[in-house]
Amino acid sequence: MLGNSGKPISEKAITVWRWTGALGALVSGAVIVGMAWILARFHAPKWCLGMLAGIWLIEVVLGVGWVPVLRQRRWRYAIREEEIDIQRGVWSTKRTLIPMTRVQYVDVRQGPLLKRYGLASIAVFTAAAAHEIPALPADEAEQLCRLIAEWAKVADDNDA
């Protein structure tokens, strides 16, 4: 495993993932309010309503408060001339080694939340799958994209 030898992603990822968790909690909260309304119309026991509220509260605490911090702490990556090494996981650790010879192309992605915090993600595509290194500083993501493309000998879109 990479442990502390790999490079961590930006700490700003915590804020981005908290916003994402909060938006998800708002959506699920609206669904739960709808379910509670239906249950109340059919005179369901009060404990059902309390259980729904408790489930939502657990989602908020985990999805907004705790999981984003763990995700950021556990994400590690290393980019070497012969391979890309990605390690991630909150509950269990998953490590992916991508040989540079298998890389077909590389993308830099930046959604509205990432852009707001000056971050971007790198997506590395092979014939089998796509792999992502999230929440890197935008300039670093651009440099790493070019470096991976160079080492993998992938043509840049601007070269065409």
Distance between CA atoms of residues 73 and 89, nearest Å: 9
**CATH, range 76-159:** 2.30.29.30
Cα–Cα separations (whole angstroms), residue 48 to 2, 23, 30: 45, 24, 16
Nearest Cα to Cα of residue 25 among 51, 66, 58: 58
Mean pLDDT, range 84-89, rounded to an integer: 95
Query: Which are the contacts of 9, defined by CB distance < 8 A and separation ≥ 6?
Result: 72, 75, 77, 133, 134, 135, 136
Question: Is-above-0.85 flag for pTM?
Answer: no
Distance between CA atoms of residues 36 and 13, nearest Å: 33
pLDDT tens digits, one per residue of 42-67: 888 989 888 989 999 999 999 999 99
Distance between CA atoms of residues 18 and 117, nearest Å: 13
